[in-house]
């Protein structure tokens, strides 16, 4: 193959001068289609131009309200309607959050991400969460929340409490979304993201791969993320964790829906299309194994969820992660 054959379209320049460059699905798919070494080489180049190549940001997850969720996300062990063995727990108290924040900081994390299994918070839910945000900040950590859809005014309250990031994932492409979730739509997700952005909170927004989507649909997810204006500061790329009792685990039967190298490609394409963003190698690291994780870092991932647990499922333990980063010559950011 000649060098010319690898010349690809990049983002389209803004037509009206008001928005940033836009990626077409075709241009993103063309990146996916590159020979693997070429794709990784390009991603590594973009990574080095925008980030310290040997640094990895560490975020610790804490489930502040577990299970019993009314939504029907086909991947999620916390949806009340699926029988996954995840029971419903009340909102954690402030002392438990303080303890978790201290433990995360002592272990070397710089951010605590608090997740709640809600469609969205009611005001009586939000008040105690605001106190949690203040407490996490008082412990010297960045604070992130993922609470579902936000109503008018709620993002401003979170911002005033000191929230740094709000996580709200687009999860998959607009075309595939309706096959995974029916209790809300893509536009609902975009509206919450807009509220977060307008309030001046940093945006954490990514998705899940390995749900049975096509490569084109993965490309369409990445294009959606990259075309947010501006792109999210933080982009979590999750590999589906198949949890027994969820519709997706039943449909896929415990067999991974994609080749692990396709997951690495997704990380590389996210890195190229969102050069300044932090790309987080998120759920599914235990299942991916260390060699694939090493490829993900090489492809431009520069953040992980760090701690023995995600929200309800397992994550590599902190000693294993420290050892892995050490073996790769990577250091916490």
115 interacts with ligand DTB by CB under 6 A: yes
- Whether 296 is a known active-site residue: answer no
Among residues 42, 76, 189, 205, which one is catalytic? Answer: 76
Among residues 42, 73, 205, 296, which one is catalytic? Answer: 73
- Whether 102 is a known active-site residue: answer no
How many whole angstroms separate alpha carbon 201 and alpha carbon 13?
A: 26
CB of 208 to ligand SAM, least distance (A): 5
Among residues 111, 189, 204, 205, which one is catalytic? Answer: 204
- Whether 204 is a known active-site residue: answer yes
Instruction: Judge contact between 235 and 270, C-beta under 8 A.
Output: yes
Query: Residue 79's binding partner, choosing from ligand DTB, ligand SAM, ligand SF4, none, with beta-carbon cut-off 5 to 8 A by kind?
Result: ligand SF4
Instruction: Judge contact between 315 and 270, C-beta under 8 A.
Output: no
307 interacts with ligand DTB by CB under 6 A: no
Return the range that interacts with ligand DTB (CB under 6 A); candidates 1-9, 12-20, 92-100, 307-315. Answer: 307-315
- Whether 145 is a known active-site residue: answer no
How many whole angstroms separate alpha carbon 6 and alpha carbon 23?
A: 17
- Report residue 222 as tokens: 């990445």
Q: What are the φ/ψ torsions at residue 331 (nearest 5 degrees)? A: -130, 150
Which pairing describes strands 234-239 and 278-281: parallel, antiparallel, or unpaired? parallel
How many whole angstroms separate alpha carbon 224 and alpha carbon 277?
A: 14
Question: H or E element: which one contains 142?
Answer: strand 142-146
Query: Residue 312's binding partner, choosing from ligand SF4, ligand SAM, ligand DTB, none, with beta-carbon cut-off 5 to 8 A by kind?
Result: ligand DTB
CB of 286 to ligand SAM, least distance (A): 12
| Residue 149, Cβ density class (10 Å: 0-12 exposed, 13-18 middle, ≥19 buried) | middle
Query: Residue 281's binding partner, choosing from ligand SF4, ligand DTB, ligand SAM, none, with beta-carbon cut-off 5 to 8 A by kind?
Result: none
Q: Which is nearer to ligand SAM, 47 or 285 (CB)?
A: 285
The residues that touch ligand SAM, with contacts defined as CB under 6 A, are 75-76, 78, 115, 117-118, 146, 148, 168-169, 171, 208, 238, 240-241, 243, 283, 311
Q: Which is nearer to ligand DTB, 145 or 325 (CB)?
A: 145
Among residues 113, 145, 205, 296, which one is catalytic? Answer: 113
The residues that touch ligand SF4, with contacts defined as CB under 6 A, are 69, 71, 73, 76, 78-79, 117, 119, 148
Instruction: Judge contact between 277 and 235, C-beta under 8 A.
Output: yes
- Whether 280 is a known active-site residue: answer yes
How many whole angstroms separate alpha carbon 176 and alpha carbon 173?
A: 5
Q: Which residue has the tokens 């010319």?
A: 4
The b/e string for 241-268 (b: 16+ C-beta within 10 A; e otherwise) is bbbeebbbbeebeeebbbebebbbbbbb
Q: Which is nearer to ligand DTB, 34 or 62 (CB)?
A: 62
Separation of CA 295 from chain center: 18
Q: Which residue has the tokens 């987080």?
A: 280
Instruction: Judge contact between 111 and 141, C-beta under 8 A.
Output: yes
CB of 117 to ligand DTB, least distance (A): 9
How many whole angstroms separate alpha carbon 61 and alpha carbon 84?
A: 20
Among residues 111, 265, 271, 280, which one is catalytic? Answer: 280
Query: Residue 168's binding partner, choosing from ligand SAM, ligand SF4, ligand DTB, none, with beta-carbon cut-off 5 to 8 A by kind?
Result: ligand SAM
CB of 169 to ligand DTB, least distance (A): 5
Q: Which is nearer to ligand DTB, 101 or 241 (CB)?
A: 241
CA angle 19, 20, 24 (to 5 degrees): 105
Interface residues toward ligand DTB, by CB under 6 A: 61, 77, 113, 115, 146, 167, 169, 206, 236, 238, 241, 282-283, 310-313
The residues carrying an active-site annotation are: 69, 73, 76, 113, 144, 204, 280
């Amino acid at each position: 193959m000649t060098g010319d054959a690898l010349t690809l379209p990049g983002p389209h320049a803004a037509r009206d001068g008001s928005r940033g460059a836009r990626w077409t699905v075709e241009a993103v798919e063309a990146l996916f289609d590159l020979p693997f070494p070429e794709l990784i080489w390009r991603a590594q180049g973009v990574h080095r131009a925008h980030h310290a190549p040997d640094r990895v940001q560490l975020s610790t997850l804490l489930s502040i309200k577990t299970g019993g969720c009314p939504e029907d996300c086909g991947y999620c062990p916390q949806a009340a309607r699926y029988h996954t063995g995840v029971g419903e727990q009340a909102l954690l108290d402030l002392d438990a959050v303080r303890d978790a924040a201290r433990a995360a900081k002592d272990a070397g994390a710089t951010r605590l991400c608090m997740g709640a299994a809600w469609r969205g918070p009611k005001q009586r839910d939000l008040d105690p969460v605001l106190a949690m945000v203040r407490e996490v900040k008082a412990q010297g950590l960045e604070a992130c929340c993922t609470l579902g859809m936000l109503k008018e005014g709620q993002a401003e309250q979170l911002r005033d409490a000191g929230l740094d990031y709000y996580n709200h994932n687009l999860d998959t492409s607009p075309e595939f979304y309706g096959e995974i979730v029916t209790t809300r739509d893509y536009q609902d997700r975009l509206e919450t993201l807009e509220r977060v952005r307008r309030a001046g909170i940093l945006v954490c927004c990514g998705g899940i791969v390995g749900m049975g989507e096509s490569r084109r649909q993965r490309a369409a997810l990445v294009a959606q993320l990259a075309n947010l204006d501006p792109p999210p500061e933080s982009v979590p790329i999750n590999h589906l964790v198949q949890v027994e009792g969820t519709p997706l685990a039943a449909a896929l039967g415990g067999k991974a829906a994609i080749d692990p190298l396709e997951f690495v490609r997704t990380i590389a394409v996210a890195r190229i299309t969102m050069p300044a963003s932090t790309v987080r190698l998120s759920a599914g690291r235990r299942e991916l194994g260390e060699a694939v994780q090493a490829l993900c870092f090489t492809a431009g991932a520069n953040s992980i969820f760090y701690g023995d647990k995600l929200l309800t499922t397992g994550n590599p333990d902190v000693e294993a992660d420290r050892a892995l980063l050490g073996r790769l010559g990577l250091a916490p950011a």
